[in-house]
Amino acid sequence: MQAKANNTSKLPVLSRREVEDIKSKIDADKSYLGQLDRSPSDDPGTHLPAKQVVEIDTGAVESRIRRNEKALAAMDPANQKLSGEQRKKSESRYFQLKDIIVKKMLTREEMDYFPSANDGVKQANYELAVRKATEAGYEGSQEYNVSAQEFKRLGRLLWPEDPEMCSLSKIRPRGNATSGRHFAKV
């Protein structure tokens, strides 16, 4: 059981929207299967269910239902309850990761930098932002991506009703510089 618990702790946690999407897909597939067993009530000439008139292979639909139900069981935040001590450790880790990630992110202004063939300052700012993003530990690195995924997973697990708690764009810092895309009002 311990090995299984460690395996599920590495799985992502679905957002509320993703959970609702999967549930609606399961419901749609079950409805489809149910329609195959009923005779159509609006066509008086048809008395047999579709399954008895035409051979229909439902294996793929049934397999998709099982696969989606298994995914929900493993990744729905409602199925992953944390004890008091686990929640405390997870919250501590969440805020620790948030501090680490914010320091390694490009600022909102750096994200807006773009190359410029005519303006040497804009080009230099863009190149600096690209170098920063591709440095070890920063946004372009595997280390950063692992931390970001863990941050998002913990945010969804701890606060499933609040999608902003796992949003990287909400924690992106603001910088001092301007991107060059903003114009001063005269």
Cβ-proximal residues to 69 (8 Å cutoff; 6+ apart), any chain: 26
- Give me the residue label for tokens 């066509």: 43
Residue 158 resides in a domain: yes
The per-residue DSSP string of 128-156 comes to HHHHHHHSTTSTTSHHHHHHHHHHHHHHH
Number of domains present in the structure of the chain = 2
Q: Domain end: 54, 79, 104, which one?
A: 79
Q: Which of 10, 3, 15, 6 is nearest to 156 (CA)?
A: 15
Residues 134 and 159 grouped into a single domain = yes
Residues 143 and 97 grouped into a single domain = yes
Q: Domain end: 79, 114, 147, which one?
A: 79
Residues 7 and 71 grouped into a single domain = yes
Query: Rounded mean pLDDT of the chain?
Result: 81
Residues 74 and 107 grouped into a single domain = no
Residue 184 resides in a domain: no
Question: Quick one: what percent of the chain has pLDDT higher than 70?
Answer: 78
Q: Which of 138, 122, 17 is nearest to 76 (CA)?
A: 17
Residues 75 and 88 grouped into a single domain = no
Residues 163 and 94 grouped into a single domain = yes
Who has greater pLDDT, 6 or 80?
A: 80
Residue 50 resides in a domain: yes
- Angle (CA) 154-96-152 rounded to 5° is 25
Residues 129 and 52 grouped into a single domain = no
Residue 11, classed as helix, strand or coil, is coil
Which residues form the domain of 40? 2-79
Residue 186 resides in a domain: no
* Average pLDDT rounded to a whole number, residues 47-66: 74
Residue 68 resides in a domain: yes
Checking if the pLDDT of 3 tops 80, the result is no
Q: Domain end: 79, 99, 115, which one?
A: 79
Residue 61 resides in a domain: yes
Taking the C-alpha atoms of residue 176 and residue 171, their distance in angstroms, rounded to an integer, is 16
Residues 166 and 109 grouped into a single domain = yes
Q: What is the pLDDT of residues 13-35, one digit of tens each?
A: 888 888 899 999 999 988 888 87
Taking the C-alpha atoms of residue 50 and residue 5, their distance in angstroms, rounded to an integer, is 43
Residue 183 resides in a domain: no
Nearest 10 degrees: CA dihedral of 130, 131, 133, 134?
A: 110
Residues 73 and 95 grouped into a single domain = no
Residues 97 and 47 grouped into a single domain = no
Residues 11 and 58 grouped into a single domain = yes
Residues 116 and 55 grouped into a single domain = no
* Average pLDDT rounded to a whole number, residues 128-144: 90
